[in-house]
Amino acid sequence: MTKEDWEAVIGLEVHAQVSSNTKLFSSSSTEFGAEHNTQVSLVDAAMPGTLPILNYYCIEQAIRTGLALSAEINKCSYFDRKNYFYPDLPQGYQITQFFEPIVKNGRVFINDNEKEIRIARIHLEQDAGKSVHEESKTYVDLNRAGVALMEIVSEPDLRSSAEAAECMKKLRQILRYTGSCDGDMEKGSLRCDANVSVRLKGSSTFGTRCEIKNLNSIRYIVQAIDYEIQRQIEILESGEEISQDTLLFDVALGKTKVMRSKEDASDYRYFPEPDLLPVEVSQEKIDSIKSSLPELPDQKKLRYVEKLGINEYDANVITSDKAIADYFEELIKKHDSKLAVTWLTVELFGRLNKANIDIVSSPIKANALSELLDFIVDGTISAKLGKQVFDIMFETGKPASLIIEEQDLKQITDKCQISKVIDKIINDNQDKVQEYKSGKTKLYGFFVGEVMKFTKGKASPDIVNSILSERLSN
């Protein structure tokens, strides 16, 4: 048999940190990058006698996410205890939702919306702390302990690492649009466990799955899944059986490694959390959250294509990130969409890519670019000079109006002044004039260039062309 005879079956468990100023069951801050153990309450440290108090804003964020994924919202959900020991989990158990999650039966679309990936559930749970290894010692930082997570669990509908990556990107995009998670994988706000198995093509029976834990980049998701698919195929083709294990991905070696044998739900001894009441949500509250949802990426893309006439490629680029879409929305408040697309995707992106910075860190904000476009549209400066101004704006952060004034870049629109320049250039280049009139029409560009050189690029191109073509035709 060959690799083509096998089919991968993949499901994702995506852990998304809820965008909230405080933790799920305490008032401790969730700010990233604080000193070790400076954001830990008595509840987070599991001191005897302390009780969790539910942060209802996190419930709203989970509902917001569920609605964005066209899911069902459970009007009554529960928290449960998941019992297991980790050195950075002070309670000795995790408060999570197992039996009745807040969200179920959603969906997300990938491959240009041609394939539906079912979302089985979204449940809320608290994060553990972090073990910090230094030489022969291990320290525990509890700043993350108790931070609210949404675990978004897909059905095993994915069939390749590429589909898994696309699904992860789409979920991150939706989370950012709704504001329920910042999606920053580098900071650990978004990470993923991938359940992978293989079976012969045409089979309806699932193979034995292995779970790859804590994948924190799209690139590693692809590498880990591809390696694991090949590993399982080789084991099965050698006549052996797959062991149901929990794996880690060694990024240095590009290989998965066994961390422990896979637990079943019974191993965690789930039972209802006795210190928390059921979570009850009214239909009025659900409707209110639904009405507050922003325009989601697929809806926005459709509007850009159908109503603004933007091609699908550019619409995909602009809607790929909420920050980019927000920037674009600011531009089209005053300007033609096609002009805005060009300056955003060609001029600004070109400079951002060269500087290796994202749009959030751009030295040119949307209102500043919009002002520059005002000057180009009303003829104050030409598009060519606009690019020079744009470069200076990018380097200095100065507004277009100040640069145009300092550099004396206002476009010359006085027809009499431009006529005098053209007459001088024609008189000084009679030989070129005769060549042009004898059929060498490419010389037209020479005359335009001379006018622009004389006026330092400030002459209005439209007026130059109008007067020059008239002069040369006489």
Q: 454-469, pLDDT tens digit by residue?
A: 777 777 787 878 787 8
- Whether 420 and 396 map to the same domain: the answer is no
- Domain around 320: 295-407
Number of structural domains the chain divides into: 3
Average pLDDT over residues 219-236: 96
Q: Which distant-in-sequence residues (6+ apart) come within 8 Å of 460 by Cβ? A: 379, 382, 411, 412, 413, 418
Is the pLDDT at 266 greater than 70? The verdict is no
Helices (H), 74-213: 161-178
Instruction: Name the residue with higher pLDDT: 457 or 395.
Output: 395
Tally Cβ neighbours within 10 Å of residue 110.
Answer: 21
Give just the sign of the alpha carbon dihedral 301, 305, 308, 311. Answer: positive
Confidence of residue 296 (pLDDT cuts 50, 70, 90): very high
Is the pLDDT at 265 greater than 70? The verdict is no
Per the CB < 8 A criterion, the answer to whether 318 and 297 are in contact is no
Confidence of residue 443 (pLDDT cuts 50, 70, 90): confident
- Whether 176 and 212 map to the same domain: the answer is yes
- Whether 301 and 450 map to the same domain: the answer is no
Question: Exposed, middle or buried, 255 (CB in 10 Å: 0-12/13-18/19+)?
Answer: middle
CATH number at residue 442: 1.10.10.410
- Tell me the whole-structure pTM to 2 decimals: 0.86
- Whether 305 and 258 map to the same domain: the answer is no
Out of 228, 262, 287, a domain closes at 287
Q: What is the pLDDT of residue 255?
A: 94
Residue 300 phi/psi, 5-degree rounding, is: -65, -45
Q: What is the pLDDT of residue 208?
A: 93
Instruction: List strand residue ranges (DSSP E) for 48-136, in order.
Output: 72-73, 76-77, 80-83, 93-96, 103-110, 115-126, 130-134
- Whether 166 and 59 map to the same domain: the answer is yes
Is 317 among the domain residues? yes
Is 50 among the domain residues? yes
Average pLDDT over residues 184-212: 94
Is the pLDDT at 158 greater than 90? The verdict is yes
Is 316 among the domain residues? yes
- Whether 206 and 312 map to the same domain: the answer is no
Average pLDDT over residues 445-450: 79
Average pLDDT over residues 415-435: 78
- Whether 265 and 192 map to the same domain: the answer is yes
Is 1 among the domain residues? no
Q: pLDDT, tens digit, for every residue of 67-99? A: 999 999 999 999 999 998 888 899 999 999 999
Is the pLDDT at 281 greater than 80? The verdict is yes
Average pLDDT over residues 124-135: 91
Per the CB < 8 A criterion, the answer to whether 35 and 29 are in contact is no
Is the pLDDT at 264 greater than 80? The verdict is no
Per the CB < 8 A criterion, the answer to whether 191 and 216 are in contact is yes
- Whether 420 and 400 map to the same domain: the answer is no
